[in-house]
Chains A and B, each alone.
Chain A
């Protein structure tokens, strides 16, 4: 279909900047996008009858990675590595 209506997974790598330009990047648009992403994740992994550890473990792993990324500058310093 037309570029503006395709989802992220259906967009080819070369068309990515063009596709980004067609998205709604206002605060409401971004918020809507975040809500849609969360609700699709929630409906797929958490809001099921018999879920498993996968639902929250992926969230926790993502949180670990994110916090590692935020603290990388600090923990890669020699002063920090030596102190502990």
Chain B
């Protein structure tokens, strides 16, 4: 059970995103003494206070031989002068180089971050598109149902056609059989009739029919000549 009155995330420190690094470090005068020291002495001694303190301390150390001048003093002086000259002359160039390195690192990481963001955005768009596609599911299934119905219909009609053809073939066979039988009977009967008639014609009848034909032809030719 979550108590809605209890505030969340009030004391826990959030680690991400990290706060950015400060731009500049603490102020330091002459590269050695922090500015806070000067500010600390300003109310009581003004602007020249720390310098007087420094000079006084230096003279005190030198005079009381708390700082002993030896060969190392000379070495330190030479080293310090060389270092200060180097820093003053090439410091800005080194700083620019380091800044460029940093810039490249930051640019690489930013590029990675932007790539990741772009990829995620395209993924989101594709997801939304998929969600839109889901709405068309019903149309898809209707089309599929139509396809299946058409297939079934086509198959049924094909089979119907096959049945029809088969039945027609069988009926045609019967019809052809009947026709053939009839034809054969007819031919046989005609042949039998012709044979009997030819047999029944005696030679006497043949001679008489031929003479009759000749007489008819002569008559016809006379009438034809007359017509011409």
Q: Which of B35-83 contact A (CB under 8 A)?
A: 65, 67-68, 70-72, 76
Q: A49-B102, A75-B68, A76-B68 are in contact. Are A44 and B26 (CB under 8 A)?
A: yes
In the bound assembly, the distance between CA atoms of A48 and B76 in angstroms comes to 29
In the bound assembly, the distance between CA atoms of A50 and B23 in angstroms comes to 6
Contact A50 B99 (CB under 8 A): yes
Query: In the complex, which of the residues B25, B65, B95 contacts A44, with contact meaning CB atoms closer than 8 Å?
Result: B25
Is residue B22 within 8 Å, beta carbon to beta carbon, of the partner chain? yes
> How many A-B pairs with Cβ below 8 Å?
56
Chain A residues whose CB sits within 8 angstroms of the CB of B32 once the complex forms? 54, 57-58, 61
Contact A54 B70 (CB under 8 A): no
Is residue A81 within 8 Å, beta carbon to beta carbon, of the partner chain? yes
CB distance from B73 to the nearest CB of A (A): 11
Is residue A29 within 8 Å, beta carbon to beta carbon, of the partner chain? no
Mark B residues whose CB is within 8 Å of A. Answer: 21-26, 28, 31-32, 34, 65, 67-68, 70-72, 76, 87, 91, 95, 99, 102
